[in-house]
């Protein structure tokens, strides 16, 4: 019998906590749960922040958070889950960056922390208390790690750059 060690328990706790927070935020956007605006209000907010089209942006952010968070909790497709959540948080960081670092002033501290934590879990792996381990790491291969993070970084960079260009074209201050 294989004994579970502290590392596996720590990764489970980190995955569960981080994933649950991300799921809550994503379901606010997608379904209006936990006091969120749901898809229509989130789409309007995304459009206002310069993420166009707003509905597609709201779905992408909501799925990155809710889907990435759910997969982190389960420890399934962990590299893709961490990359998806980190990518969604990169977009949130771009919105909060003009307010500085600290969350009290509306800064990017909180989404940056969630993004770095999700990315770290994706890089470290889920531990033995995970569906990735139970399935023989079918969805947790090294090549998947590189592909997931490259795709997430490229997508996040493209979305943030498109938003910045749109704000420059309209003469708006970054929000």
Tens-digit pLDDT string for the chain (175 aa): 467 799 999 999 999 999 999 999 999 999 999 999 999 999 999 999 988 899 999 999 999 999 999 999 999 999 999 999 999 999 999 999 999 999 999 999 999 999 999 999 999 999 999 999 999 999 988 898 889 989 888 888 888 888 888 777 776 665 5
Q: Is residue 1 part of a domain?
A: no
Helix spans in 102-141 (H): 109-124, 131-134
The pLDDT of residue 26 is 98
Q: Is residue 14 part of a domain?
A: yes
Structural domain span for residue 10: 6-169
The pLDDT of residue 174 is 53
- HSE toward the beta carbon, residue 90, CA cutoff 13 A: 21
Q: Is residue 87 part of a domain?
A: yes
The pLDDT of residue 1 is 47
Kindly report the pTM of this predicted structure. 0.90
SS3 content of the chain, % helix, strand, coil (to 5): 80, 0, 20
What is the domain count for the chain?
1
Biggest CA–CA distance in the chain, Å, is 64
Q: Is residue 175 part of a domain?
A: no
d(CA 47, CA 53): 6
The pLDDT of residue 173 is 60
Query: If you compute the radius of gyration of the chain from its CA atoms, what whole number of angstroms results?
Result: 17
Fill in the DSSP letter of residue 130: S
Q: Is residue 174 part of a domain?
A: no
Q: Is residue 163 part of a domain?
A: yes
Q: What are phi and psi of 26, to 5 degrees?
A: -65, -40
């Amino acid at each position: 019998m294989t004994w579970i060690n502290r590392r596996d328990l720590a990764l489970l706790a980190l995955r569960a906590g981080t994933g649950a927070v991300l799921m809550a935020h994503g379901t606010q956007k997608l379904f209006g749960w936990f006091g969120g605006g749901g898809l229509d209000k989130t789409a309007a907010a995304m459009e206002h922040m310069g993420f166009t089209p707003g509905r597609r942006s709201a779905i992408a952010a909501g799925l990155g958070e809710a889907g990435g968070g759910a997969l982190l909790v389960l420890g399934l497709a962990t590299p893709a889950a961490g990359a998806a959540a980190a990518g969604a948080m990169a977009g949130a960081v771009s919105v909060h960056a003009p307010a500085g670092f600290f969350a009290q002033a509306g800064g990017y501290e909180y989404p940056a922390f969630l993004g770095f934590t999700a990315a770290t879990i994706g890089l470290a792996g889920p531990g033995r208390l995970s569906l990735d381990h139970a399935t023989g790491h079918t969805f947790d291969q090294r090549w998947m790690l590189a592909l997931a993070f490259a795709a997430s970084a490229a997508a996040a960079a493209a979305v943030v750059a498109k938003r910045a260009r749109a704000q420059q074209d309209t003469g708006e201050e970054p929000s």
